[in-house]
Structure 1
């Protein structure tokens, strides 16, 4: 109790340092816990803020974290700048070629379905949730957003494939900035009208200001891309320069008109995304790190700033009616009307249901909710629903993430839109040995994706008819473009052992650590002391001491891959006796499951099992007999070669 009183005393003194430490600890702690539990991070971050704010206030009489009291007038600028960086991130993802790739259904959903959802959502927010018209219109604009941060995990979980997967993915990417721009336009008209100015004149000025903001963002994008191409900035300054320029671009646009800074930074990000900069992936990595910090902070601040009275007022029949109308009327009608003739009946049914809201929706809702509250205090109008925007946004997030997360898989399977075949293998690192291994897996009817960041190294794989992915699998680009539902096993076979370890650690939480593999680093039995620790590596493929260099060396000596099907007469023991040399790489069990051989994972054999081995070509190979009696005692040993 004494410790609690000390803690409350520290908070009561409005300690800015303590508040910042709490926000960082709660936000990143929630992100880490979400990673460990494979749970939606957005939900855990919101729970962390609620626990430190209104819940703590109910228990102890005052909140552990009170952002409004701690930050005062700085709170809105902090949230505004954070949202600006988040929207810049959304713009940095949006390439115009992606919109072309998205197909007619997504384009129609963005250009026609988006405004329709905004209109219907405004009606729902006003008549169902009880918001005043101004708050309803602003809030509905934000609710158009369905971000990729929540869509991608749901797609992996449900094994959704084909057009529905592409639709959800690209809709989320494109809608990130679109919904925010809807809210910006609505807020600006409302702000000017609340100050007694002409609405028509305000609309014209808003269009002019938005145009100026867009041009400013484009100018920043062209200037930055030119500076990077010409080598005017050193490498170590590029990422910090981007971050500083985002703030400068936002600040300059704000001087023209309030909240046009959001338009400017979105245009800035889109300009950079379409500039084809060679080192844009490195900038994205820095941007991801900053965005994680800001997103975590914004979520904790917004939820901790809620009061028990606001939450209590939001837990009513109006909120329930609003959620029902948004889920079962607004979203289905928007999809069905906008995409009529481009989707099948089953696809339209699934896509009309799935629309989880995410990070951008809550962050932007929090910003405009605060702005409308400020207008109520200083303008001629009182916006009765402004303080309900944030609770309603969190209600939408919780409801859609939970409901859609639990139903997308069963519904996709019921409609026949999920992948029916077993997920295959992602092979990372294209080289002569890995390509031959991939060909052996494909010949055994195992789905294989060969990934590499080098176009030339992937050429033999493409010529062999293998599915390929060009890009760095550790990047955010791969998170969006790589079809994660197609594989449940990851094998890192690049020539860089540390990169292989990073790949295994990246995918271990998704597919399970028992399904990530890499080759041994040292040709001895012990791992090199200078290598990545064994706890941070994938499981060893083949056996300890079997390195990439040794495999390629044997390949040049004439070793090849072969597939051998075992029978009740031709057993694994006979197979091994005939092959004193060579390595068993994988075994395909009679049920079609793939088992990669390694330390403590030996081939089990049995009738109907297929052994994939890498062995000298000159060893005796049992040929399949044409007569029935002989075939009962023979294997079907098939070498894999060019």
Structure 2
């Protein structure tokens, strides 16, 4: 066991974030890595048991964390995203959820062997998927926009609905089995749910107004959000258990659709907090399981229940609820398979297991085992299959890492054409039709719009592009683009054209050189220099390094005016050259450079001489 509670908290943080890093480094489902890590330090090796060690604090900590995670997810639910997909989302969240509840309850009764009362409670709960498991899978799989948005909205909207269905089923059971049945309890339940929605909406509106009118300073906005989310969840939850989830969801959606100028900053902060919370909570929950719970998973009735939920209940609910919604068969097939359960299912089922046992339902003792089996198996199965299935169904943008180039000019059009010829996804973005005219002539993919505009955010699919290159003639705008998208793309994947101007002994650029993004290629090559080279006849040349023609010989052959642009690894990995580039080109790499025309003339002359010499010999 761990020596102290402080050490255990530290260990949970290290293991959680460490699992996230391992998942990122080796392209594995993060939830799977975290679940395995929690099992190893918990029931397998017995290093810690957070539920015992934290005592009465364990349940409130989990509940508050789930509330913050759910709020963060709902903060991304802008109604503008519903263009073209509102019908399938509404149908899946209502009719689909109802079908899944009834079918899941029947399966729990006839296959898992649960009583009708317990079956309907757990059937309502298991309709949830949840942002804690869906979001990491969507980032991993690079799904096309439509199925990705459907899964995201379903995960966040159905999360509180599932918890409420479980509460609703329990309230009905309580009324039916009581000595003096009364409908007052059901009326109170619906009233509490309506109150939770109104409370979330009111707090969201109030916060939005305070932020926009300057009543809350910038440095306090994120802390205020966290405190108000906790208050919103607690206030609703005290009136009726689990309505707190509904309340924070309503609050998040309200803020997301108010058009608040600082909403993106809040999203980044909340996303960072959510990653930390998801990591810690999954470690805590899996580490708190007992060995007996794990062994029960392998019983035939539990395995049979999980398989039917995955291969029958979920597909049935999706295909029936999406009839006439415009979704293709492939999209329905993907949605019908992907439904991993997560933190909400684990936490709420633990609560109901205790409540139902206290009410005299002895079969409720297997709820924790049943829930963990469903969570772990679905996360494992869907986590490893979503990318493969999406590619098979033609619903994935995954492939060679692409580049999103901001700014259309003579150089960027030629760069985009070079990337396109190497089978690398590329997209030019510019707000000017005049600037894009050359891209249209060269048949280079383009999008007309301002990269910072809200319309571009909703209309442009950025999933295929791993790199962002800001290469406009406005250095300040380039830096602003890079600063805005650093959190989304990562510091190593965001570049800007050199803002430096050559003068006498050195270079000058002003403040923009120190803001956002890495300098693309070399600081001595500004966009103006690069365009001049294109006009002077410089050409894009691709060279593969071999055992006989290595990096040293390649560099010796190139002059000081050559611009090294990017390299492509044999694995397909794309790397852009910059002064901060750590990757050293190796044998098998293809290097693309902007080469002086004299080099090309020399190569042509050498080839002609070779042909002439061969002719003379003959």
> Corresponding residue for 2:72?
89
Check whether the contact 1:117–1:144 (CA below 8 A) recurs between aligned residues.
Answer: yes
Check whether the contact 2:99–2:317 (CA below 8 A) recurs between aligned residues.
Answer: yes
Change (3 A) 1:595 1:370: closer
Check whether the contact 1:135–1:383 (CA below 8 A) recurs between aligned residues.
Answer: no
> Corresponding residue for 2:44?
55
Instruction: Using the TM superposition, give the Cα deviation of residue 442 of structure 1 relative to its aligned residue in structure 2, in angstroms.
Output: 7.7
Change (3 A) 1:339 1:258: closer
Change (3 A) 1:171 1:611: closer
Q: 2:11 aligns with which of 1, 18, 22?
A: 22
1:260 counterpart = 2:243: yes
Change (3 A) 1:458 1:42: farther
1:176 counterpart = 2:152: no
Q: Distance in 1 between matches of 2:558 and 2:363?
A: 83
Check whether the contact 1:373–1:383 (CA below 8 A) recurs between aligned residues.
Answer: no
Relative to structure 2, which stretch is displaced further, 433-442 or 592-601? 592-601
Q: Distance in 2 between matches of 1:553 and 1:346?
A: 48
The alignment's TM-score, normalised by the length of structure 1, stands at 0.73
> Corresponding residue for 1:393?
371
> Corresponding residue for 2:426?
448
> Corresponding residue for 1:60?
none
- For the residue of structure 2 that corresponds to 1:275, the secondary structure is coil
Q: Distance in 2 between matches of 1:508 and 1:239?
A: 21
1:427 counterpart = 2:404: yes
> Corresponding residue for 2:528?
552
Change (3 A) 1:226 1:410: closer
Change (3 A) 1:518 1:400: farther
Check whether the contact 1:144–1:175 (CA below 8 A) recurs between aligned residues.
Answer: no
Change (3 A) 1:586 1:70: closer
Q: Distance in 2 between matches of 1:227 and 1:207?
A: 30
Q: Deviations over 1:2-60 (max 9, x none)?
A: xxxxx56x3xxxx4433323332332232233223322221222222222221134xxx
Q: 1:122 aligns with which of 102, 105, 108?
A: 105
- Structural mapping, 1:348-427, within 5 Å: 348-353=332-337, 355-357=338-340, 361-376=341-356, 378=358, 380-382=359-361, 384-385=363-364, 387-417=365-395, 423=400, 425-427=402-404
- For the residue of structure 2 that corresponds to 1:170, the secondary structure is helix
Check whether the contact 2:346–2:368 (CA below 8 A) recurs between aligned residues.
Answer: yes
> Corresponding residue for 1:41?
30
Instruction: Using the TM superposition, give the Cα deviation of residue 301 of structure 1 relative to its aligned residue in structure 2, in angstroms.
Output: 2.1
- For the residue of structure 2 that corresponds to 1:449, the secondary structure is strand
- For the residue of structure 2 that corresponds to 1:315, the secondary structure is coil
Check whether the contact 2:38–2:283 (CA below 8 A) recurs between aligned residues.
Answer: yes
- Structural mapping, 1:270-309, within 5 Å: 270-309=253-292
Change (3 A) 1:439 1:225: same
> Corresponding residue for 2:443?
none
Change (3 A) 1:404 1:392: same
Instruction: Using the TM superposition, give the Cα deviation of residue 193 of structure 1 relative to its aligned residue in structure 2, in angstroms.
Output: 4.4
Change (3 A) 1:309 1:577: closer
The alignment's TM-score, normalised by the length of structure 2, stands at 0.75
Instruction: Using the TM superposition, give the Cα deviation of residue 218 of structure 1 relative to its aligned residue in structure 2, in angstroms.
Output: 0.4
Aligned-CA RMSD value: 5.0
Q: Distance in 1 between matches of 2:150 and 2:368?
A: 26
Check whether the contact 1:335–1:352 (CA below 8 A) recurs between aligned residues.
Answer: yes
Q: Deviations over 1:614-637 (max 9, x none)?
A: 879xx9999xxxxxx9xx99xxxx
> Corresponding residue for 2:547?
none
Instruction: Using the TM superposition, give the Cα deviation of residue 282 of structure 1 relative to its aligned residue in structure 2, in angstroms.
Output: 0.6
Q: 2:300 aligns with which of 314, 317, 320?
A: 317
- Structural mapping, 1:155-170, within 5 Å: 160-161=143-144, 166-170=146-150
Instruction: Using the TM superposition, give the Cα deviation of residue 127 of structure 1 relative to its aligned residue in structure 2, in angstroms.
Output: 2.4
Q: Deviations over 1:105-162 (max 9, x none)?
A: 344323322221222122223322333444433433343334466556656766654x
Q: Deviations over 1:200-226 (max 9, x none)?
A: 332222111111111111000110000
- For the residue of structure 2 that corresponds to 1:276, the secondary structure is coil
Q: Deviations over 1:584-610 (max 9, x none)?
A: 646999xx99886789769999xxx99
- For the residue of structure 1 that corresponds to 2:323, the secondary structure is coil
Relative to structure 2, which stretch is displaced further, 499-508 or 137-146? 499-508
Change (3 A) 1:461 1:136: farther
Q: Distance in 1 between matches of 2:34 and 2:401?
A: 33
Q: Distance in 1 between matches of 2:22 and 2:388?
A: 26
Relative to structure 2, which stretch is displaced further, 409-418 or 300-309? 409-418
> Corresponding residue for 1:248?
231
Q: Deviations over 1:394-425 (max 9, x none)?
A: 333332333334444554455555569x6463
Check whether the contact 1:24–1:297 (CA below 8 A) recurs between aligned residues.
Answer: yes
Check whether the contact 1:217–1:249 (CA below 8 A) recurs between aligned residues.
Answer: yes
Q: Distance in 2 between matches of 1:414 and 1:376?
A: 44
Check whether the contact 1:117–1:330 (CA below 8 A) recurs between aligned residues.
Answer: yes
Check whether the contact 2:401–2:573 (CA below 8 A) recurs between aligned residues.
Answer: no
Q: Distance in 1 between matches of 2:379 and 2:507?
A: 43
Change (3 A) 1:581 1:257: closer
Check whether the contact 2:561–2:596 (CA below 8 A) recurs between aligned residues.
Answer: yes
Q: Distance in 1 between matches of 2:222 and 2:487?
A: 25
Change (3 A) 1:499 1:240: same
1:137 counterpart = 2:120: yes
Instruction: Using the TM superposition, give the Cα deviation of residue 305 of structure 1 relative to its aligned residue in structure 2, in angstroms.
Output: 1.9
Q: Deviations over 1:58-117 (max 9, x none)?
A: xxxxxx323333232222222221111122122212122222342543443233222212
- Structural mapping, 1:491-502, within 5 Å: 491=469, 493=471, 495=475
Check whether the contact 2:74–2:249 (CA below 8 A) recurs between aligned residues.
Answer: yes
Check whether the contact 1:426–1:489 (CA below 8 A) recurs between aligned residues.
Answer: yes
Change (3 A) 1:154 1:236: closer
